[in-house]
Amino acid sequence: MTWPKNSPEVDEETWRDWQARFGESDKAAGFDIRRDFQPFNQMNDMFTRAFWDPSVRSKDTDGFFASYRMEASPRRGEGFAQRDFALRNAAWAVSDIISNRAGEKGLREGFQGAIEADTPVAPTRAALMSPEEESIEIKRLARFFGADIVGITEIDERWHYTHRPDTRSMRPLEERLPEGLTHVIVMGHAMDFDLVATYPSALAGASTGREYSHEAAVVIQLATYIRNLGFEAVASMNDTALVIPYAIKAGLGEYGRNQMVLTPEFGPRVRFSKIFTDLPLATDTPRRLGLAAYCERCTICADACPPRALPRGAPDLGPDNPSAIKGVCKWTSDAEKCFGYWAKLKTDCAICMRVCPFNRRYDRWRDRLWRWLAIGPRGRGVAPGLARWWQARRGKRKRLRPRDWWKGGAAD
| Model pLDDT for residues 322-351, shown as the tens digit of each residue | 999 999 999 999 999 999 999 999 999 999
What is the DSSP secondary structure assignment for residue 52, as one 8-state letter? H
Whole-number pLDDT of residue 82? 94
Q: Assign 209 a pLDDT band (cuts: 50, 70, 90).
A: very high
How high is the pLDDT of residue 73? 78
DSSP letter at 201?
S
Instruction: List, for residues 12-60, the tens digit of each pLDDT value.
Output: 999 999 999 999 999 999 999 999 999 999 999 999 999 999 999 999 9
For the cut 90, the answer to whether the pLDDT of residue 76 exceeds it is no
Residues 6+ apart with CB under 8 A from 103: 167, 168
Whether the pLDDT of residue 5 is over 70: the answer is no
* Average pLDDT of every residue of the chain: 95
Backbone dihedral angles phi then psi of residue 188, each to the nearest 5 degrees: -110, 140
Report the share of the chain in percent with pLDDT over 90.
91
CB 273 within 8 A of CB 236: yes
Average pLDDT over residues 109-123: 96
For the cut 60, the answer to whether the pLDDT of residue 86 exceeds it is yes
| pLDDT given for residue 72 in this prediction | 80
Q: Write out pLDDT tens, residues 165-208.
A: 999 999 999 989 999 999 999 999 999 999 999 999 999 999 99
| Residue 107 predicted with pLDDT over 60 | yes
Confidence of residue 376 (pLDDT cuts 50, 70, 90): confident
pLDDT at 314: 96
E-strand stretches of 163-318:
163-166, 171-174, 183-190, 233-236, 254-255, 261-262, 270-277
Helix spans in 151-271 (H) = 193-196, 205-228, 243-249
Using the predicted structure, report yes or no on whether residue 231 has a pLDDT greater than 60. yes
pLDDT of residue 6: 65
Q: Which sign does the torsion angle of CA 151, 187, 387, 314 carry? A: negative
Q: Which residue type occupies 141? A: L
SS3 397: coil
| Residue 114, pLDDT score | 96
Ranges of H-type helices in 92-130? 93-100
Under 8 Å CB-to-CB from 277, ≥6 apart: which residues?
Answer: 181, 182, 183, 184, 185, 223, 226, 231, 232, 233, 234
What integer pLDDT is reported at residue 2 of this predicted model?
Answer: 58
Paired strand residues for 326: 38
Q: What is the pTM of this model?
A: 0.96
Work out the pLDDT band at 3, boundaries 50, 70, 90.
Answer: low
DSSP 159: G
Query: Quick check: 233 and 227 in contact, CB under 8 A?
Result: yes
Question: CA 111 to CA 11: how far, in whole Å?
Answer: 29
